[in-house]
Structure 1
Amino acid sequence: MASPVTTTLAGVVFGLALAAPPGPMNAIIAEESVVRGWTAGFRAGLGAMLADAIFFALTLAGLVAVLDSVPAVRPALYLAGGCLMLYFAIGAIGDARATTSFTDAGRAAATGFRKTFVLSLTNPYQIGFWLTVGVGLLESGTLDVLSYAPAVGGVLEGALVVQTGSPALLLGFFAGIAIWVVAYPAALVAAGKRVDAFAPTIAALSAVVLVGFGLLFLLLGAVRIV
């Protein structure tokens, strides 16, 4: 029988696994954090988290699967997301040029929340997550996590069983995302305060990530149309 505590902790791990990998959303959170402070970075993270909450509700209602079944949707999302990333990259390049040190007082209005929210809603990878892992999290049952480990799965079978479709798993999942949204900007701000040169460097790297993903999304969108 899956323990509620174990299931909640597994949900936290799943949430962190979704939120932590490098990508356009974390690039925007990083830029906002080092240029405008923790609050701006936190708000940018909330934009992405709100989008996940919406995808969760749509998955629960079965609408995400219906949306994905329309052939034209994926290419359109790739193209829209690619254009948005390149547009946001221009702002990141401007921040990299204008920022000379870390500042806790924003030089301009923080727009990270809108950026991450819109990008998340047009991100085919995020839709893909909710069509696969997300559906698995919502379906009632149990998941023997360690039994799938290569070579040692037989030995570890039954050591970590979680209850899928349970409120504990979903609560842990969004708690994991929330932990990242709070801790990631805080770590960047702490580093930025110690090293002034850190801010323009992170802004520049954020621009590079956004340009890279933007071009990739445009390419994928064009290929799918052809």
Structure 2
Amino acid sequence: MASLPITALAGVIFGLALAAPPGPMNAIIAEESVVSGWTAGFRAGLGAMLADAIFFVLTLAGIVAVLDRAPIVRPVLYLAGGCLMLYFALGAVREARAATSFTETGRTAATGFRKTLVLSLTNPYQIGFWLTVGVGLLEPGTLDVLAYAPAIGEALAGTLIVQTGSPALLLGFFGGIAVWIVAYPAALVAAGRRVDAFAPAVAALSAVVLVGFGALFLVLGTLRLT
């Protein structure tokens, strides 16, 4: 079994592995970062991280599992999340048209924070994570950390197994997310300052990602209701 420092490091890796893959939250963080600066991108990341903290508390209280037992909950969340993503995609399109270069000024940093918080709280995948893997993090046992890495998880299964239910693992997990929401906007800002066309391009790409996920969520929600 891994030692305490290794367990904490495993938590960091796990948090990074879950926070880094492309998706609607990272699309919003990217848009906020290149259009309004690092602070806006960081605040957007904090919104998603706060949602995970809320789900963590609700998982401890057993409320998330209770909500999941109601058959109507997930379809409604899919539909609500899909509509929100499409709405935010319209905003990203407007940003893509308006942004001619990288700028530190623009919308208030609270805008992205509200977007990611609301989207995360209505994200069935995020709720599903806390109903499955999240519960496993809290209960005493073991976790095959690298098995959850996107694309390469199958090949890395069994490489790093740590004890769950450990405060070190949970602190490391949220620490990994924190590292991502600090470093990711910083990298985008650095790139944006070098290339003026980067801001509208990222805003446009964010719109495409949000439309794609929004459409997917609407289809999944409709299918689950029928």
Alignment of 1:182-221 (within 5 A): 182-221=182-221
Look up the equivalent residue of 2:54 and give its one-letter code: I
* Shift in Å, 1:61: 1.2
TM superposition score normalised by structure 2 = 0.93
- Look up the match of 1:80: 80
* Shift in Å, 1:2: 2.6
1:136–1:164 contact (8 Å) kept in structure 2: yes
* Shift in Å, 1:116: 0.1
- Look up the match of 2:55: 55
- Look up the match of 1:109: 108
- Look up the match of 2:131: 131
* Shift in Å, 1:85: 0.5
* Shift in Å, 1:146: 7.3
Moved more, 137-146 or 189-198: 137-146
2:31–2:206 contact (8 Å) kept in structure 1: yes
**Gapped runs of 5+ residues in structure 1?**
none
DSSP 3-state at the match of 1:163: strand
Structure 1 segments, 4+ long, off by >6 Å, are: 146-153
2:14–2:145 contact (8 Å) kept in structure 1: no
Look up the equivalent residue of 1:141 and give its one-letter code: G
In structure 2, do the counterparts of structure 1 residues 142 and 38 end up closer, same or farther at CA, with 3 Å as the change threshold? Answer: same
* Shift in Å, 1:139: 0.8
After superposition, what is the alpha-carbon deviation per residue over 1:41-70, rounded to whole angstroms, capped at 9, x for unaligned?
000000000000000111111111111110
After superposition, what is the alpha-carbon deviation per residue over 1:155-202, rounded to whole angstroms, capped at 9, x for unaligned?
xx6x74412010000000000000000000000000000111111000
Moved more, 213-222 or 133-142: 133-142
Structure ID, larger Rg: 1
Aligned-partner Cα distance in 1 for 2:168–2:21: 24
Aligned-partner Cα distance in 1 for 2:144–2:82: 37
TM superposition score normalised by structure 1 = 0.93
